[in-house]
């Protein structure tokens, strides 16, 4: 028996322990932040001093929040592919990230409406003939909307089926406003064992396509949204580095949310210390992975010493961006890597909170450095102020509101897969129609 096969309480006890509703003040505060951000954006868009910077800040924050939200759902898909059991009590906290993806799709349309303030290919005619077709707006915009929207749709369907399994047996678990939605989700819900296997089978197929899509689609999006902001820079590692930064952000933010939910729900028995040890190991591992990609990309440019490559790193290591550039290195890599080496730092929550928060701040600064130096070049002072802060808190408010609404609407944990007598049958695939075990090769 593994350390994760601990005895769990009965189903009704888990529901009672996790049903405390989120306070109304949280929704009011998040909507207030969203309104402030929208107001700052509108004012900046119509003033000479801010009309370009608010669009750049919009692009920075779209990349930060949208990519982390998508990476979070992809990690859930990885849990399905590996038939992981350790994460069942906490993975719903990550599934809630899916609530931001439909909003992110709408915000992406807004982002493209401001293309002339953000993207070089929209500001002037392309001088590089080899990039003219690829960066043609009539080719770029539709493909990015299709790729982002397609993966977001798969993510929503995946999480919908996961939530439906709990809603089907716990229809009253969740806010009253979502009762109608939960009733629609329960239509044609069959007996527990069959639903567990049919859900598991369908999610297994979908999870594979989601992970493949994340690798390919987000490579394209990384080129289009970030690398192409500097038309003279190319790196074969860039797309991996771009979306794996989002992956690291998803793990760090998930860890913080698990700590918060554990305390808010007083669920110390359900979310035990070993979960934070596991999360800490994941955060440490992918901090090292991100550092490997970052140094690998830097090293190739350094020893190649080609002006069309080295200018990108140099611009971020001189004034006025030097402070942010060095801050990214220390906040995203140095502090979390050396800080999370020990087991004690992973399970002692104040240190874990500090390192995870530092990583997230550093990742936001990284998104900033992907955009501002490429488009503004060397400036007399660091372009950071009310426009960037205002738009950032606006995006934060939207993200918190969407996440909180999801978490209030549905069961907070995968209660069925934690308590069902059939929960471990999914380790051996069966035909969901006949309930007979499938041959090993299938």
Of 260, 409, 253, 241, the closest CA to residue 312 belongs to 241
Helix (H) or strand (E) holding 435: none
State residue 377's pLDDT score: 94
Instruction: Give the separation between CA 106 and CA 97, rounded to whole angstroms.
Output: 16
Asked if residue 64 lies in contact with residue 248, where contact means CB atoms within 8 angstroms, the answer is: no
CB of 62 closer than 8 Å to CB of 104 = yes
Give Cα 182 distance to the centre of its chain: 25
As a dihedral over the C-alpha atoms of residue 392, residue 395, residue 397, residue 399, rounded to 10 degrees, the angle is: -140
* CA dist., res. 388 & res. 397, Å (int): 14
- Mean pLDDT, the chain, integer: 93
Quick one: tokens of 176?
């009253």
Q: Which two tokens stand for residue 159?
A: 């999480």
pLDDT tens column, 40-93: 999 999 987 778 999 999 999 999 999 999 999 999 999 999 999 999 999 999
| Cα(314)–Cα(382) distance, integer angstroms | 16
Tens digits of residue pLDDT in 2-24: 444 456 788 989 999 999 999 99
Tell me: the pLDDT tens digits for 345-364?
Answer: 999 999 999 999 999 999 99
Q: Distance between CA atoms of 192 and 326, rounded to whole angstroms?
A: 53
**Do residues 4 and 353 lie in contact, with contact meaning Cβ atoms separated by under 8 Å?**
no
Q: Indicate the range of 31-35, 44-48, 223-227 predicted with least confidence.
A: 44-48
Percent of residues, the chain, with pLDDT higher than 90: 85
Q: What is the pLDDT of residues 187-203, one digit of tens each?
A: 999 899 889 989 998 99
Query: What is the percentage of the chain residues whose pLDDT exceeds 70?
Result: 96
| Euclidean distance between CA atoms 237 and 293, whole angstroms | 7
Q: Check if the beta carbon of residue 99 is closer than 8 Å to that of residue 402.
A: yes
* Angle separating helix axes 24-45 and 53-81, nearest 10 degrees: 140
pTM of this structure:
0.95
Under the banding of pLDDT at 50, 70 and 90, the label for residue 439 is low
- Between CA 378 and CA 123 the distance in angstroms is 19
């Amino acid at each position: 028996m593994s350390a994760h096969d601990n005895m769990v309480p009965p189903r009704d006890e888990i529901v009672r322990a996790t049903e405390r509703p989120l306070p109304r003040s949280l929704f009011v505060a998040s909507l207030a932040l969203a309104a402030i951000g929208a107001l700052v954006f509108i004012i900046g868009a119509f003033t000479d001093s801010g009309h370009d910077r608010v669009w750049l800040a919009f692009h920075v924050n779209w990349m930060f929040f949208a990519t982390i939200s998508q990476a979070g759902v992809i990690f859930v898909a990885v849990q399905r592919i590996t038939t992981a059991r350790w994460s069942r009590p906490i993975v719903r906290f990550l599934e809630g990230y899916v609530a931001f993806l439909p909003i992110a799709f709408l915000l992406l349309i807004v982002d493209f409406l401001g293309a002339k303030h953000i993207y070089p290919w929209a500001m002037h005619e392309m001088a590089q003939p080899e990039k003219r077709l690829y960066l043609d707006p009539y080719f770029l915009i539709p493909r990015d909307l299709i790729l982002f929207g397609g993966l977001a749709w798969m993510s929503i369907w995946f999480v919908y089926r996961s939530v439906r399994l709990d809603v089907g047996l716990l229809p009253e678990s969740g806010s009253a406003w979502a009762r109608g939605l939960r009733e629609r989700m329960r239509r044609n819900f069959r007996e527990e064992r069959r639903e567990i296997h049919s859900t598991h089978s369908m999610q297994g197929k979908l999870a594979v396509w989601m992970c493949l899509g994340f690798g390919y689609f987000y490579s394209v999006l990384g080129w289009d949204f970030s690398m192409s902001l500097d038309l003279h820079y190319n790196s074969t590692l860039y797309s991996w580095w771009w979306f794996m930064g989002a992956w690291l952000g998803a793990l760090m933010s998930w860890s913080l949310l698990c700590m918060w939910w554990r305390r808010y729900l007083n669920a110390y028995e359900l979310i035990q210390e070993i979960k934070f040890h596991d999360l800490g190991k994941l955060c440490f591992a992918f901090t090292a992975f991100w550092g490997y990609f970052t140094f690998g990309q830097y090293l190739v440019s350094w020893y190649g010493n080609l002006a069309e490559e080295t200018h990108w790193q140099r611009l971020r290591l001189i004034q006025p961006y030097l402070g942010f550039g060095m801050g990214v290195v220390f906040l995203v890599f140095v502090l979390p890597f050396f800080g999370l080496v020990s087991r004690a730092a992973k399970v002692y929550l104040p240190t874990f909170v500090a390192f995870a928060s530092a990583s997230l701040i550093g990742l936001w600064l990284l998104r900033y450095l992907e955009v501002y130096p490429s488009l503004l070049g060397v400036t007399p002072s660091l372009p950071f102020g009310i426009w960037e802060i205002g738009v950032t808190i606006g995006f934060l408010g939207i993200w918190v509101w969407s996440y909180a609404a999801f978490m209030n609407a549905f069961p907070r944990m995968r209660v069925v897969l934690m308590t069902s007598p059939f929960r471990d049958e999914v380790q051996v695939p069966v035909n969901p129609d006949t309930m007979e075990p499938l041959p090993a090769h299938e």
